[in-house]
Amino acid sequence: MREKEYRLIEKYLLGELSEEKRAAFDKLKLSNPDLEAEYILRKNIHEAIQEPDIMNLRFALNEIVNTKKQKSHVIKNPFIWSSVAAVFIIVLIIKIMFLNTHTERYVDYFNKYYQMYPPVVNYRNTEILTEEQECLRIALGNYENSDFNNAELLFKELVNKDSTNTLAKFYLSISMIEQNEFIEAETYLYELSTNNQHLFYEESLWYLALVYLNNNKPEEAKKLLLEIISRNYTYKHQAKKILRSIN
Amino acid sequence: MESLKNEEIVEGIRKQNPFLLKRIYSEFFPDIQKFIIDNNGSSQDAKDIFQESIIIIYRKLKIGNITISKSFSLYLLGISRFLWIHQISQNKINSVQLNQYANYESLPDFEFDEIEKHNQYKLYQYHFKKLGEDCQKILEMFLNNIPIKEIARKLGNTTENYIKSRKYKCKEQLVNNIKNDPQFKKYERKGI
């Protein structure tokens, strides 16, 4: 089945088709069992995710049934304590010995995992754009053509006009990274990471973690990578790999 | 502490009252746990079954009322037994046999299809909750018929085209994750 058909089903389910197109789709379903099966699956998924009350109840019950009384495990054998202390000292010595090597490696993680974020917003030529949208269109065009200097200027103009424009702020940060302006990029990404009510929150955490690694701030990076993993964000696999290597 | 009355329990579940849910758990979970462990299950299985049994009762309460002829304890145990048997026998007996077993268990107002649907929805909801927060937010807003302009504004003054494209990608991610889940493949094989 093709993307076109998936989109058609989604539009049907969200009531975005005209009466005429709905009727045509109903007819098409009858003659195409694969389409019918896909439609039923998506309809059920559609219904299932419209049950926030059930999901909330499951969450509440899960909390109740999995709450355990914490037991304290006190190690009574003094020999174990001395062994633990010895291991701790050895680990500390190894950490100190390899500290400098690590400083170099943090930048390597950035180089290995950083990829330019794709320009995902497109305006059709037929659309009538406001001044800001026009500015954004040109900025994204510059960004797409790797003209990061001009892209940065325009994104900054948009951010200066409206500091809540998270899209411009995010692309501004990436434009800065592309020009090795890491300190400035860190500032904007940090601002984006303090508010999770926008679409680039996940991406901001990931890029900020990478910028932290580049700027030799491993502890800050680790916190963000852990958050990415615990919240099951898109970059969790990469975050796990980095954390495994760092630790 | 005095035992809960049937009406209190029903209202506690209907209103998702956290205090009463905890009491229901303390009072009725041990019987469920004993049954599951006696029938080759683990303590975690017992917790899962208890949880889903309460949700099934909630589902029934949403569309009407439930008939508890004897005690709530027996009613809950009946549902839990049914769910557990369903789970362990998924690959062993077919739905007709299972329906016969359900009749033997004489569960009141209970249909085999309801359990199947409940389990499928549980799988879909599990994958929905595994999506990134922004994907969940976008899909929720679309389902709540929030105008696309408003969604774009709420999610950081982004463009409507971007929201549409993101919504589609999120939904496709959800559908693909579900299709790749081994549990879903089992349903597919059974033709559900």
Q: Same structural domain for residues A54 and A144?
A: no
Residue B38 to chain A, least CA–CA distance (Å): 19
Would you give the DSSP letter of residue B4?
Answer: P
Q: What share of chain B is helix, strand, coil (3-state, %, to 5)?
A: 75, 0, 25
Question: Within the 214-243 window of chain A, which residues sit less than 8 Å (CB to CB) from chain B?
Answer: 231-234
Most B CBs within 10 Å, among A46, A49, A158, A171, to test the B interface: A49
Q: What percent of chain B has pLDDT over 70?
A: 83
In a domain, A85, yes or no: no
Show residues of chain A in contact with B153, CB under 8 Å.
none
Sign of the C-alpha dihedral computed for residues A188, A189, A190 and A195 taken in this order: positive
**Which pLDDT score is estimated for A247?**
77
Chain B CB within 8 Å of residue A84 CB: no
ipTM reported for the complex, 2 dp: 0.87
Same-domain pairing of A139 and A225: yes
Pairwise CB contact (< 8 Å): A44 & B133: no
Considering the domain architecture, whether residues A55 and A143 belong to the same structural domain is answered as: no
* A56 in B contact zone (CB under 8 Å): yes
Chain A residue numbers touching B140 (CB-CB < 8 A): 49, 52
Size of interface A-B (CB pairs under 8 A): 130
- Distance CA(B111)–CA(B106), nearest Å, equals 11
pLDDT surpassing 90 at residue B158: no
State how far the Cα of B91 lies from the Cα of B189, in Å rounded to an integer: 10
| Helix axis angle, A52-65 to B112-130, nearest 10° | 80
Whether residue A117 lies inside any domain: the answer is: no
CA dist., res. B89 & res. B32, Å (int): 18
Domain boundary among A59, A87, A105: A59
Task: Flag whether residue B139 sits within 8 Å of chain A, measured between CB atoms.
Answer: yes
A73-96 core/surface letters (b: 16 or more CB in 10 A; e: else): eeeeeeeeeeeeeeeeeeeeeeee
Q: Mean of the pLDDT values across residues B76-102?
A: 66
A55: closest CA among B12, B144, B46, B126?
Answer: B126
The domain containing residue A45 runs over which residues?
3-59
pLDDT at A23: 93
Residue B42 DSSP code: -
| Best mutation target, B16, B55, B159, to test chain A (most A CBs within 10 A) | B159
Residue B91 above 50 pLDDT?
no
CATH code: domain of residue A191: 1.25.40.10
Domain spans in chain B, listed from the N-terminal domain onward = 6-110, 121-190
> Between residues 50 and 69 of chain B, which touch chain A (CB distance below 8 Å)?
50-51, 54-55, 58-59, 62
- Taking the Cβ of residue A6 and every Cβ of chain B, the question of whether any pair is shorter than 8 Å is answered with yes
The answer on pLDDT for B188 being more than 80 is no
**Entry field: residues in chain A:** 247
Residues of A in contact with B54 (CB under 8 A): 57, 61
> How far is Cα A238 from Cα A229, in angstroms, rounded to an integer?
9
pLDDT in tens, B6-25: 888 999 999 999 989 999 99
Which pLDDT does position A76 carry in this prediction?
46
- Does the CB of B175 have a partner CB in chain A at under 8 Å? yes
Cβ of B17 under 8 Å from any chain A Cβ?
Answer: no
Amino acid at B78: G
Most B CBs within 10 Å, among A45, A121, A132, A135, to test the B interface:
A45
The per-residue pLDDT string of chain A (247 residues; one tens digit each, 9 = 90 and over) reads 678 888 889 889 888 889 999 999 999 989 999 899 999 999 999 999 999 999 999 999 998 988 754 333 444 455 555 666 777 677 666 666 655 555 557 888 898 899 888 776 555 555 677 788 788 888 888 888 888 888 998 999 999 888 888 888 999 999 999 988 898 899 999 999 988 777 788 889 999 999 999 988 899 999 999 989 888 887 888 999 999 888 7
Say what the pLDDT of residue A46 is: 92
From A11, A27, A59, give the residue that closes a domain.
A59
Q: Does A167 touch chain B (CB under 8 A)?
A: yes
**Cβ–Cβ < 8 Å for A159, A165:** yes
Residue A72 has what pLDDT? 38
- Angle at alpha carbon of residue A247, lines to A85 and A74, rounded to 5°: 35
Judge if A137 and A238 occupy the same domain: yes
The answer as to whether A157 is a domain residue is yes
Contact between B172 and A6 (Cβ < 8 Å): yes
Domains: count for chain A = 2
Distances in Å between the Cα of B20 and the Cα atoms of A56, B1, B27, B28 are 15, 13, 10, 12
pLDDT of residue A209: 95
Average pLDDT of B135-155? 87
pLDDT of residue B69: 75
With residues binned 3-state (H G I as helix, E B as strand, rest as coil), the percentages for chain A, rounded to 5, are 75, 0, 25
More confident residue, A141 or B187: A141
Higher pLDDT, B89 or A203: A203
Nearest CB to B168; choose among A7, A55, A233: A7
Q: What pLDDT sits at residue A44? A: 94
- The pLDDT of residue B107 is 57
Classify residue A101: in a domain, yes or no: no
Looking at CATH, the fold of the domain delimited by B121-190 is given as Arc Repressor Mutant, subunit A (1.10.10)
Domain boundary pick from A21, A41, A59: A59
